[in-house]
A and B are shown apart, each in its own frame.
Chain A
Amino acid sequence: MNNRFEELRRASWSLPDGKQKLAVMEEMIRLADLYRPVSDAYEVRMNYVSAAPDGGCAERMMIAFAWCLAEFRKHPDQYSSFSLLWNYKWVLNQIWRIPEFSRETADRVFEDFKAMCTEFGYNLRPYHQQRVSYLLSLGELDEAADAYRLWRATPRDSLADCRACEQNLFGEYRFRIGHLKQGMKTLKPIMDGRMRCHAIPQNTYSLVMNPHLQLGETDQAIAVSRKAFRELEGPAYLEEYGELLETLTLMDLARAYKLYERTLPFVRESRIGWNNLNYLYAAGLFVEEWTKSKRRKKLPMADQVTPEWISDELGRLIQAFDRRNGNSIISERMADRVKTFHKLKRKLAKGSV
């Protein structure tokens, strides 16, 4: 069985990010549980925690993380608190995206992280940072603004996200509260190539396209969409594909088709409500425009992914978020986005953007 374990490890290294790789790692975990020391089982699970979001199955990470957290609490001296808390941040970044979690559960997870940071001597910068995204998704803008201030006021320590990731989120925050120009300014060092990491600028591309269009900067939007089309790859970027698909639907329907074809299988596999919501929103617009354009090419997976299926799924997700949030922020926001889309479309048709 040790041979099998090594064989699987080699396979996991050579497979591209995705479900097959995760399946291989799940078998590795099973084997480690049965035949190898606990520390191996811990290590394989920690690797799985970072591979799961890359493979488009971020929710699965929490299963492995739950086990590691319990094991860590049993033997805190045997494992790195830093690495555990570092991965804990990804849990926070996912939990609000899954509407099946109640607010109460999500809040308790955030508090648990906060207590652990304090216990192991880290400050609360990442805690505040993660809360900004969470509160924005709940539509609680005042609380989000408070968290944003606390985030920026707390000095960076080793647990903080890398500077490029933080800068990206500073910009995203500005966009979310409607300060488009300020957001652009904030993201300039990234767009100029002066800050980058493994996820930046790919993440940033998807953020700036729509604001560019709204600001009337069509050329920039086109240039960024080209880069995004080239550089976004794999199942981890579903939300970003949504942004890109929306922009391409407005500006380059043929390329939008290619993107849709390439990314549609990912949404069929994804169980993360927030990402699916943002992708399907754009997919709905794309399918509508494609059908209107009367092109002969058939849409991919047309027998399963019908306009009705997309709109049912969208409706279900919007309801799920509204239910969790206890308000109607998400339905309002989605309705606004559709309006903005059509406004931009009219402007582009007139050539006034």
Chain B
Amino acid sequence: MTMNFQVNLQGLIDLLSNHLYSDPGIFIRELLQNGVDAVTARKRLGQSFEGQVLVEVYPSETLSFTDNGSGLTAEEIEQFLARIGSTTKRGDLDLADDYIGQFGVGLLSCFVVSDEIVLITRSAKGDGALEWRGKPDGTYGIRSLEREVPVGTTVFLKAKPEFAEFFQYDQVEELLHKFGQYLSTPIILKEDRYERRINVSKAPWDMKKEEALAYVEETSYYRPMDIIPLVSAVGGVRGIAHVLPHAVSLQDEKRHRVYLKNMLLSDKLSSILPPWAFFVNGILNTDSLRPTASREAFQENELFFAAREELGECIKRYLMELVDREPELFQRLVRVHTESIKAMAVEDQDLYELFIRHLSFETSFGDLRVSDILASRKEILLAPTVDEFRQIARVAKSEEMLVVNGGYVHDLDLARRLPWVDSSATVRIVNTLEFAERFKELGAEEKAEVQPFLELSDRLLSGFQCQSLVRWFEPADLPVLYNTNQEVNFFRLADDAEEKADPLYAEVVRVIRDALYERPYARVCYNYNNPLVRKAVESGNPRMQKACIELFYTQALLLGNHPMNADELKLMNDSLLFFMNEGLARTEVDR
């Protein structure tokens, strides 16, 4: 035996009000939608009439929505209103696309704000007028009306006390305007004898560029840089994207305004344009993308993504044409939206080629445009992290080397591909540890003189995974250049872990550290241009040299903002105290 289980309508309505719809004001949209759909349905019957939806605001917090659409027969009322989830619009599957609504749950959103729905209707297919009264507990009654009623449907709602604000004239006007301002069926709002039409505006997707610029300025309080027309045959999308006149954070959620068959679906839909399109806000209308049950977003299916790709192509095409058409505007766009453009260029080779020469990078010679970089150098060095860039930037400049900072998001990937646009250019990623080896070497005689000092330095610093070398380099006031890279930190962690772990995990750490990686040593490069370094080398006094090396090393750490461990701090203190003592002793001798 098959039985029906009971659905608690009250509970269902609670569910809808709290979870399906994000805002109680949605009932306005649902009623508007039912009205517009009824007008469409009556037109389909071949009847000639001027479609209209009339919304009346009464004192005592009551609203009525009247349309002169198809109306409902007693049978349709049974089928549609008495059964949640079914809809009169579904029978006609082939034609269903002209309707906005899909799910037949729309009327339920009225129970969120009202304890009773009264519906008076007369079907365009004939029969007399009917009155239907429904309550949120699932009970309803139908009766025939004696009096004359025009074809169409009127819905009356009386506000629950807590939702009275949604029944005030201003609020109703605002919501009608928000959802329905671009619908083609006239929407009239009436209070007492005063009437006004809500939807007189032209939709942005029907506007010419100048109109759209003025429209955005009026509604968003800024004048956009430009308007990009958007069209996708897939999903029947038309719209505009306006180029924001100010930079935006890449972290911000995008809010595009999207309409479904001219009815507002969402004013904060982020996914309708490709994620790289940070620098525009879109206003779009679609005929055939499928909404989700709450009709506040779209189902993200293949159709949706195909449409999104198509819209992305529109933006790309616009940018490519803009370079020649309005070079000044193009430059301004690049200046304001650099970050966004970098994110785009990483994703797409065409856009990369379009933009890259106009972008700027931080280099050892300050911020430079790529066109200037490529004009001045063919050999470009690229530091992979901000930290490594900072270590070498100053010396690189003195040594006339152009190093690009690749440490910021996207810059490494962008700079690495420069040979794409200039095949004579080479880009090398700097190995910071080998950086100092590029400097001028010492002569044979000097080398021999320095050798014992270097050996002492290697011995003293080997415990800190640091090797020593000496070169001539600029600036002369810098005695030592200390270079490390990211891997040095990792090796320190590995060594600590090996020491702390049990034998099994010590073995695990060793395999990773020794079989998968090569151990990097940090480098101190002494500058033979620096008088203090030369004096230290020449002094020949091992005690004095030891203290010098320790102080050079720890000073370099301090200058480079590298964290010092306990041993390194002790090294610094010991060497400082040594020099203090030496200095004081000499003062005593002098006296």
Contact = CB atoms under 8 A, between A and B. Distances in A.
Interface string A310-346: 0000000000000000000000000000000000000
A317 B489 CA distance: 28
Contacts of B513: 63
Contacts of A153: none
B500 A63 contact: no
Interface string A16-33: 100110010011011101
Interface residues of B, number: 37
A23 B497 contact: no
Contacts of B559: none
Central interface residue in B486, B508, B564, by most chain A CB within 10 Å: B508
A1 B497 CA distance: 22
Nearest to B500: A70
A69 B505 contact: yes
Nearest to A297: B349
Interface in B561-587: 563-566
A27 B485 CA distance: 11
B305 interface: yes
A309 interface: no
B407 interface: yes
Contacts of B489: 23, 26-27, 30
Nearest to A102: B511
A109 B160 CA distance: 65
A30 B565 CA distance: 9
B511 A101 contact: yes
Nearest to A99: B515
A98 B504 CA distance: 16
Given A30-B489, A226-B302, A66 B509 contact: yes
Nearest to B566: A34
A197 interface: no
A100 B509 CA distance: 12
B409 A63 contact: no
B117 to A, nearest CB: 35
Nearest to A100: B515
A264 to B, nearest CB: 12
Interface in A53-96: 59-60, 62-64, 66-67, 69-71, 73, 95
B490 interface: yes
A316 to B, nearest CB: 13
Interface in A209-241: 223, 226, 230
Contacts of B512: 59-60, 62-63, 98, 100
A63 B509 contact: yes
A105 B409 contact: no
Nearest to A303: B419
Contacts of B504: 105, 108-109, 112
A274 B508 CA distance: 17
A66 B251 CA distance: 35
B296 to A, nearest CB: 19
A1 B563 contact: yes
Contacts of B332: none
A350 to B, nearest CB: 27
A63 B497 contact: yes
B494 interface: yes
B12 interface: no
A23 B563 contact: no
Contacts of A29: 493
A266 to B, nearest CB: 12
A352 interface: no
A349 B1 CA distance: 55
A56 to B, nearest CB: 13
B505 A70 contact: yes
Nearest to A67: B497
B563 A26 contact: no
A226 B308 CA distance: 14
B322 interface: no
A33 B496 contact: yes
B464 to A, nearest CB: 13
Nearest to A226: B302
Interface in B317-342: none
A19 B502 contact: no
Contacts of B508: 62, 66, 95, 101, 105, 109
Ranked 10 nearest A-B pairs via Cβ: A66-B505, A23-B486, A100-B515, A67-B497, A66-B501, A70-B500, A26-B489, A66-B497, A271-B516, A70-B501
Given A67-B493, A271-B517, 19 more contacts: A20-B407, A26-B486, A26-B490, A29-B493, A30-B492, A34-B563, A34-B564, A59-B512, A63-B493, A63-B494, A63-B497, A63-B512, A66-B500, A66-B501, A66-B506, A69-B501, A70-B500, A230-B305, A271-B516
Interface of A: 1, 4, 14-16, 19-20, 23, 26-27, 29-31, 33-34, 59-60, 62-64, 66-67, 69-71, 73, 95, 98, 100-101, 105, 108-109, 112, 223, 226, 230, 261, 265, 271
30 contacts: A1-B563, A4-B563, A20-B385, A26-B486, A26-B490, A26-B493, A29-B493, A30-B563, A31-B563, A34-B564, A34-B565, A34-B566, A63-B493, A63-B494, A64-B497, A66-B500, A67-B493, A69-B501, A73-B502, A100-B516, A101-B508, A105-B504, A105-B507, A105-B508, A108-B504, A109-B504, A109-B508, A112-B504, A223-B302, A226-B305
